[in-house]
Amino acid sequence: MLNLIKNISFLLCFCTVSISFAQKQKITVVYTGTLTTDPEIKEGAKIFVRDKSKQVHFIHKGADVFCDKAIYYEDEDFLEAFGNVNMKQGDSINMVAKYVEYSGITQLALARGDVVLTEPQSVLTTDLLYFNRAKQQAYYNTKGKVVRDSSGTITSQIGRYYTNSKKYQFVQDVVLVNPEYTLNTERLDFFTENGHAYLFGPSTIVGETSTIYTERGFYNTNTNIGNFQRNAKIEYDNRTVEGDSIYFDRNRSFASATNNITVTDTINKSIIRGHYAEVFREKDSLFITKRAVAITVQEQDSVYIRADTLMVTGKEDNRITRGWNNVRLFKSDLAAKSDSLHVNHKTGLTKMINLARFSSNDVFSLRRKPVLWNLGNQMTGDTIHLISNVETEKLDSLKVFNNAFLVSKDTLGEDNFNQIKGQRLIGLFRDNELYNVDVIKNAEVLYYSRNEDQELVGINKSKSGSLNIKIKEKAIQRIGLINQIDGELLPPSKFPNSSKRLRGFDWRGEERPMSVDDLFKDEPPLILTKIKGLDDYIPPEEFIDNQVIKKIEEAGKAAPNKPNKAARNLPKKEAPLVPLKNKTDPKKLQNKTGQ
């Protein structure tokens, strides 16, 4: 046991000595070139100037420094390198500059003048660069440029590079220029190995066909795929897509959005909202669901269309809107419900359709039939066509195909309904009010007849081949029966209650949307997709700026009598070299270094 303890103690002491030695490892001169001195430089500092064969060469902890001239302060383990300075760290980092200061104690370097830092995936150029070898981080604050072939060129006022993670952090006036787009942001984290870019703060990506804005986002510069959040929006072809989260694929001209989506079309004066959407720019199509609503903005009265799913396709001069499942339409003087809907914005034709899957044997199919309300009139049928004048934005006419049924409440009787039915119905509008109705084939009518004093004089129930109705001020003024089969006008007291409803009667007034909010009534609570989101920006632990600059300056002050700016310039070729005061033979020094 005693021997074991001694062995462990020896190993610990050996490791401690080894670590201490590694930490105190000093800069080593590999090739000196020609030795000289300078009266302005502290005595004992060595000055090395390259010869005709090669540059002065130093190494320190895996890094090589080559230069044309060097001043080495051995006591402080501090190096100044001048002219064509090249600092290499293995095969991964290569830095060139006109001038470099390096401390072997802190492993902090300062590079000036046409600085170029090259790593396998990118090239950084700047005028002043700080490099912390202990943390493997480089930093500039005098504007820099990074070039990566597949991503483009990135410029910023401040930048930081993490050599281990191959990551750049760009701050202030950040611009990424790519042949396909230009990215502007205030803060950008960029990984050179995979081309991933993370955006912080107000950012734009402007391309030939689209403009993206976001305040927090991710973009893969290799695949041209991104995800954007926080006030994110995409603008293209006079259309703007906004949402809590937007996915974007530039190569496919595709985008999808999630939660609180608004799509604004300035050409067609329309707004579409929902909570999930897909947009194909080249196909000029939009798919949107989750409480989807489309708004056609008109000067007098906007039209709202709500559906479980909406799709908008076609160019601005031939736009089509389709809706599926639980479709509702609302404007101040018109409302409708149907299972599906088709709107041709060029012709002004709106089709409300009862899908074929609802057979006549379905006891609930009646409720699913399209229904249209105009003022006090309700019209139903298997299919309804509504035609609008695209120039005046007013209703022109309507057509009801198969099982047409028109119902309106009697002006005074609370439970009395005027009813007209037939195979087809054609209605005409004036100033958005229905004023003429023609019922074609198998027409039936039940009408509460009143005199000028609005007194009920009888109930008219008739059948005919077809009929014509004139409506004025929301009330039936005249009914003309064509090819009448039978009919009678009975006083109310003699008219049986069982006959007050024509076969197929279904008053659906409680379903009518009376406001925009009613488009979503009776719907279950909406549960939005939870967006994980991108992490918030976390400032780095001191941006190598003040602390590192201070350490470099302190290291420089520790080497007294450093040359002034003029002395730091390389001597001209014709300038004579000043011999060392101790008259040390350069050849002997070279022999000591093994060169």
Q: How far apart are CA 591 and CA 224, in angstroms?
A: 58
Q: Are residues 390 and 332 in the same domain?
A: yes
Nearest to 433 by CA among 341, 331, 340, 516: 331
Q: Are residues 568 and 478 in the same domain?
A: no
Nearest to 263 by CA among 225, 283, 236, 282: 236
Residue 23: is its pLDDT beyond 60?
A: no
pLDDT value of residue 561: 46
Domain limit, last residue, from 453, 487, 520 = 520
Listed range (14-18, 568-572, 577-581) with the worst mean pLDDT: 577-581
Query: Is residue 380 a part of any domain in this protein?
Result: yes
Q: How confident is the model at residue 243 (pLDDT cuts 50, 70, 90)?
A: very high
Residue 413: is its pLDDT beyond 50?
A: yes
Q: How confident is the model at residue 90 (pLDDT cuts 50, 70, 90)?
A: confident
Query: Is residue 246 a part of any domain in this protein?
Result: no
Q: How confident is the model at residue 589 (pLDDT cuts 50, 70, 90)?
A: very low
Residue 269: is its pLDDT beyond 60?
A: yes
Each residue's pLDDT tens digit, 313-329: 888 778 899 999 889 99
Q: Are residues 489 and 563 in the same domain?
A: no
Residue 443: is its pLDDT beyond 60?
A: yes
Q: How confident is the model at residue 2 (pLDDT cuts 50, 70, 90)?
A: low
Of 237-251, 287-301, 361-375, the range with the highest mean pLDDT is 237-251
Number of domains in the chain: 2
pLDDT value of residue 228: 95
Average pLDDT over residues 336-358: 84
Query: Is residue 81 a part of any domain in this protein?
Result: yes
Q: Are residues 473 and 560 in the same domain?
A: no
Residue 9 phi/psi, 5-degree rounding, is -65, -40
Q: How many CB atoms lie within 10 A of CB 65?
A: 23
> In whole numbers, what is the pLDDT of the chain averaged over residues?
82
Listed range (376-380, 493-497, 532-536) with the worst mean pLDDT: 532-536
Listed range (29-33, 60-64, 153-157, 365-369) with the worst mean pLDDT: 365-369
pLDDT value of residue 581: 32
Query: Is residue 192 a part of any domain in this protein?
Result: no
Residue 580: is its pLDDT beyond 50?
A: no
Domain limit, last residue, from 485, 520, 555 = 520
Q: What is the CATH number of the domain that holds 99?
A: 2.60.450
Q: Are residues 480 and 581 in the same domain?
A: no
Q: How confident is the model at residue 158 (pLDDT cuts 50, 70, 90)?
A: very high
Q: Are residues 431 and 483 in the same domain?
A: yes
Query: Is residue 190 a part of any domain in this protein?
Result: no
Nearest to 59 by CA among 32, 35, 41, 20: 32
pLDDT value of residue 594: 33
Q: How far apart are CA 203 and CA 429, in angstroms?
A: 51
Listed range (27-31, 154-158, 331-335) with the worst mean pLDDT: 331-335
Q: How far apart are CA 357 and CA 352, in angstroms?
A: 15
Q: Are residues 516 and 577 in the same domain?
A: no
Average pLDDT over residues 359-381: 74
Q: Which domain holds residue 587?
A: 26-107+545-595
Q: Are residues 497 and 451 in the same domain?
A: yes
pLDDT value of residue 345: 86
- State the DSSP H helix or E strand holding residue 189, giving kind and residue range, or none if neither: strand 181-191
Q: How confident is the model at residue 548 (pLDDT cuts 50, 70, 90)?
A: low
Q: How confident is the model at residue 579 (pLDDT cuts 50, 70, 90)?
A: very low
Average pLDDT over residues 357-365: 52
The tokens for 3 are 């021997």
pLDDT value of residue 37: 76
Q: How far apart are CA 543 and CA 132, in angstroms?
A: 11
Each residue's pLDDT tens digit, 107-129: 999 999 999 999 988 999 999 99
Q: Are residues 475 and 586 in the same domain?
A: no
Residue 557: is its pLDDT beyond 80?
A: no
Q: How confident is the model at residue 203 (pLDDT cuts 50, 70, 90)?
A: very high
Q: Are residues 568 and 513 in the same domain?
A: no
Q: Are residues 471 and 372 in the same domain?
A: yes
pLDDT value of residue 91: 83
Residue 21: is its pLDDT beyond 60?
A: no
Query: Is residue 321 a part of any domain in this protein?
Result: yes
Query: Is residue 533 a part of any domain in this protein?
Result: no
Instruction: Name the more confident of 526 and 577.
Output: 526
Query: Is residue 206 a part of any domain in this protein?
Result: no
Q: Are 537 and 187 in contact (CB under 8 A)?
A: yes
- What is this structure's pTM? 0.76
Residue 157: is its pLDDT beyond 60?
A: yes
Residue 265: is its pLDDT beyond 70?
A: yes
Average pLDDT over residues 409-420: 82
pLDDT value of residue 487: 81
Average pLDDT over residues 178-202: 93
Q: Exposure of 219 by Cβ count < 10 A (0-12 exposed, 13-18 middle, 19+ buried)? A: buried
Q: What is the CATH number of the domain that holds 499?
A: 2.60.450.10
Residue 572: is its pLDDT beyond 70?
A: no
Residue 389: is its pLDDT beyond 70?
A: yes
Average pLDDT over residues 410-418: 80
Q: Are residues 378 and 510 in the same domain?
A: yes
Q: How many CB atoms lie within 10 A of CB 541?
A: 8
